[in-house]
Amino acid sequence: MTNLPLSTSRSMPIALLRARERVMGPIRNMLADVGITEQQWRVLRVLQEDGAMEPTRIADAACLLLPSLTRILQKLEEKELIARSPDANDRRKQIVSITEQGSAVIDANLATSVALMNQVRDRMGADRYDELLDLLGDLCAAEMEGEPD
């Protein structure tokens, strides 16, 4: 194994960023028409899919840092797309849920989002697309060497 740096064309972080931009560009265009950000979309999708939950769980499921989520939740609440209420068991905690308006945003745009992902799947081929998702899942599940526990 060589210690020479790989070219950027074979750098995993750069390849992942390039792939993300390729996939997210059309999604961002769709969301711009809706008036929400991709981070807000992720939060709404998580809440619609998994139900009401604490912000810490939302941040984890939506791949967001908690300080960023705080601002995102404030914007979504201002738009009346989510609602926050105290946790019944621990009044210091809050539970976030999607509102009917939030669900309507997801419902009105989910078919477009799925169609955009189907275009990516068609370009790659179904088997390669599924394999890529599996490999990325494996990468996320694997304990990274040197990463703190």
Q: Domain holding 67: CATH number?
A: 1.10.10.10
Give me the number of domains the chain comprises. 1
Residue 2 domain-assigned (yes or no): no
Residue 87 domain-assigned (yes or no): yes
**What would the mean pLDDT of 100-112 be, rounded to a whole number?**
96
Residue with tokens 């300080």: 67
Residue 15 domain-assigned (yes or no): no
Residue 14 domain-assigned (yes or no): no
Per-residue tokens: 33:
């028409």
pLDDT score at 149 = 46
Choice among 9-13, 46-50, 53-57 with the minimum mean pLDDT = 9-13
Q: Note the pTM of the prediction, 2 decimals.
A: 0.84
Q: Name 14's Cβ contacts closer than 8 Å, sequence gap at least 6.
A: 8
Choice among 46-55, 83-92, 113-122, 140-149 with the minimum mean pLDDT = 140-149
Distance CA 43, CA 60 (A): 10
**What would the mean pLDDT of 69-89 be, rounded to a whole number?**
95
Residue 11 domain-assigned (yes or no): no
Contact 43, 54 (CB under 8 A): no
Residue 17 domain-assigned (yes or no): no
Which amino acid is located at 127 in the chain?
D
Which domain does 75 fall in, by range?
35-140
Distance CA 79, CA 22 (A): 29
Residue 50 domain-assigned (yes or no): yes
Residue 12 domain-assigned (yes or no): no
Residue 148 DSSP label: -
Residue with tokens 């979309």: 41
